[in-house]
């Protein structure tokens, strides 16, 4: 979920929607140009022209050219976290994550070509792959923090400062340095970290599996089956 989502352009005021749409257009133009010509041959000028904006506008959205290839939709993070926290109490943490992520991936079947191009660009550009993995870890940390917060909310008050809030407590102190992603992960318990990692891996595998078998099943069916297998404890399939 690292490409800017077209869905994010649907909310907020007109100005905010236009800004998100422009950022998404720049990210898409960067990926398509890189897939066709190679990352090193793509310039900021070319990306801007393909998106129909000026170079000056490009730098209103990205600090460097490479940022456009690894664009992160922060709105998606916020929506998923909110959905996890607002999900019905009867849902397990895994089911809450499934529903939250599934809502964001509802357009995957329409955007699968771009997702595949993005994956190809990253595979052929090691320095971008490293940046993408770092961003992926940040996404995973936020998912884990949302799971931890949901668990705390359902288990009543606990003594002392909950482990998952240690990093955020440090960050809220103006005199303290901001907690790094590594510090935030270290503050989390094992279960939320593992669940977030499994869920993000399940998303990747679902997309890859569906892309290879688009004529057989819808992405929604593959996604649901993947999380059903996780919920069942990954039982061995029957012998055919």
120 and 35 fall within a common domain: no
**201 inside domain:** yes
20 and 128 fall within a common domain: no
**221 inside domain:** yes
- pLDDT score for 148: 95
- pLDDT score for 41: 95
Characterize 157-196 residue by residue with b for buried, 16 or more Cβ atoms within 10 angstroms of its Cβ, and e for exposed: eeeeebebbbbeebeeeeeeeebeeeebbebbeeebbebb
**143 inside domain:** yes
Query: What is the number of domains present in the chain?
Result: 2
**168 inside domain:** yes
120 and 226 fall within a common domain: yes
Burial (CB count within 10 angstroms: exposed 0-12, middle 13-18, buried 19+), residue 98: buried
81 and 65 fall within a common domain: no
Q: Which of 57-66, 90-99, 151-160, 169-178 has the lowest mean pLDDT?
A: 169-178
40 and 140 fall within a common domain: no
38 and 97 fall within a common domain: no
**108 inside domain:** yes
| More confidently predicted of 42 and 206 | 42
Q: Crossing angle for the helix pair 108-123 and 190-212, nearest 10 degrees? A: 100
87 and 104 fall within a common domain: yes
Residues 213-227: pLDDT tens digits?
Answer: 878 888 889 999 999
Whose structure tokens read 């679902």?
206
Q: CATH no. for residue 32?
A: 1.10.10.60
> Which residue range is the domain that position 90 belongs to?
75-154+163-231
Q: Dihedral sign, CA of 151, 149, 139, 170? A: negative
**4 inside domain:** no
180 and 214 fall within a common domain: yes
Q: CATH no. for residue 113?
A: 1.10.357.10
| More confidently predicted of 101 and 240 | 101
Residues 224-238: pLDDT tens digits?
Answer: 999 999 999 999 988
Residue 161 confidence class, pLDDT cut points 50, 70, 90: very low
Q: How far is CA 224 from the centre of its chain?
A: 18
104 and 171 fall within a common domain: yes
**3 inside domain:** no
Residue 157 confidence class, pLDDT cut points 50, 70, 90: very low
Residue 77 confidence class, pLDDT cut points 50, 70, 90: confident
Residues 90-116, mean pLDDT to the nearest whole number:
84
**1 inside domain:** no
138 and 51 fall within a common domain: no
53 and 81 fall within a common domain: no
Residue 65 confidence class, pLDDT cut points 50, 70, 90: very high
């Amino acid at each position: 979920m690292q490409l800017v989502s077209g869905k994010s352009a649907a909310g907020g005021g007109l100005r905010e929607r236009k800004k998100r749409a422009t950022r998404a257009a720049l990210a898409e133009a960067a990926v398509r140009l890189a897939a066709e010509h190679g990352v090193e041959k793509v310039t900021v000028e070319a990306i801007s022209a393909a998106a129909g904006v000026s170079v000056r506008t490009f730098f209103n959205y990205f600090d460097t050219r490479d940022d456009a290839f690894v664009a992160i939709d922060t709105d998606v993070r916020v929506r998923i976290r909110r959905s996890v926290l607002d999900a019905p109490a009867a849902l397990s943490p895994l089911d809450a994550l499934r529903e939250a992520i599934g809502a964001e991936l509802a357009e995957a079947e329409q955007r699968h070509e771009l997702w595949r191009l993005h994956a190809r660009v990253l595979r052929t550009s090691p320095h971008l792959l490293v940046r993408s993995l770092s961003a992926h870890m940040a996404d995973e940390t936020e998912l884990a923090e949302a799971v931890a917060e949901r668990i705390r909310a359902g288990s009543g008050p606990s003594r002392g400062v909950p482990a998952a809030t240690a990093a955020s407590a440090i960050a809220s102190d103006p005199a303290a340095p901001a907690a790094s992603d590594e510090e935030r992960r270290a503050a989390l318990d094992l279960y939320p970290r593992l669940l977030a990692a499994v869920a993000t891996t399940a998303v990747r595998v679902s997309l890859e599996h569906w892309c290879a078998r688009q004529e057989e099943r819808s992405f929604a069916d593959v996604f649901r089956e993947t999380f059903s297998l996780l919920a069942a404890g990954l039982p061995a399939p029957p012998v055919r």
